[in-house]
Structure 1
């Protein structure tokens, strides 16, 4: 089962995704793997990471991987677990910042393939960034385009898609 939880900044998507992951784990006595994609490159991001660390259960397994998340989805030890990916748009940022289109395409393709192959229950958290104005710089425009395309692909591959706004989940699929 694949789930996509999307929403804006501070929409409540992370809390909802965590609840969903725990519910899936409890239903089938599975462990939860929290796959963190963020990199603490500044104080603000460090504070966000700390907030997320404090909000999740201590018994969850933590895997930190900023680029090669496909390998985590396909790892044999994770096939009977619930994997919560926090977050897809941070992962996308990491890929874009490599400034290597070949690596970008390789990692994105590997991830999409891994979603289709994994036996793990999957909860993907992603930001909805397409509701704002068109950015002025090329990198920001590329990020918005790539995030929109990634969210569409994740929605296509997911059995359940929810948009979270003001802490309220709205079932889209």
Structure 2
């Protein structure tokens, strides 16, 4: 199995998670869905439940809202590292911003390093914020800046980058599998 790291970008309800799930499902029989979301309210709990119901039953699940680098390092030491589907960077970044600047800096650096060295395939989902409006408050502006910079760092490290627009994949880097 070749090591392909894929970044799937898109706006809200653009089909990015569905596309990422297709890519992960075609890439390996052993997929672990890495969820970064936390259920802070009923509406978010419902969203998480809908995502869980749409995934194949045989996929594994790892819930990690902060320490993605440590999770990737741990899973990368397995004899046959699983295909990882990490969903999503915007929720993870939100968690990091509220964890404080020191945690943010360390965890971001750890994740990028672990991602580069992960010996298996990874599909990473992230929101594209560069096409929207500028936030009115400092926290929103920082979130958009940080997610934009993170997406750039991920795109540099990934062999394939795909933008999902209205459920359609637009390849920005690399190639899609023939059967997609």
Same fold (TM > 0.5): yes
Q: Structure 2 length normalisation: TM-score?
A: 0.91
Query: Which among 6, 22, 27 is matched to residue 3 of structure 1?
Result: 6
Note the 1:154-165 alignment, pairs <5 A.
154-165=154-165
- Partner in structure 1 of residue 39 of structure 2: 40
- Partner in structure 1 of residue 178 of structure 2: none
Q: Is residue 73–residue 115 contact of structure 1 (8 Å, CA) maintained in 2?
A: yes
The Cα shift of 1:117 comes to 1.1
Note the 1:23-34 alignment, pairs <5 A.
23-25=26-28, 30-34=29-33
Q: Structure 1 length normalisation: TM-score?
A: 0.94
2-side partners of 1:48 and 1:124: how far apart? 19
- Partner in structure 2 of residue 153 of structure 1: 153
2-side partners of 1:52 and 1:148: how far apart? 25
Note the 1:1-173 alignment, pairs <5 A.
1-25=4-28, 30-75=29-74, 76-77=77-78, 80-98=81-99, 100-173=100-173
Q: Which SS does the other structure have where 2:78 is aligned? A: helix
What CA deviation, in whole Å up to 9, does each residue of 1:65-117 have, x standing for no partner?
A: 1000111111123852100000011000000011x211100000000100111
Gaps of 5+ in 1: none
2-side partners of 1:53 and 1:150: how far apart? 26
- Closer, same or farther in 2 for the Cα pair 1:91/1:78, shift >3 Å? farther
Gaps of 5+ in 2: 174-180
Q: Which SS does the other structure have where 1:172 is aligned? A: strand
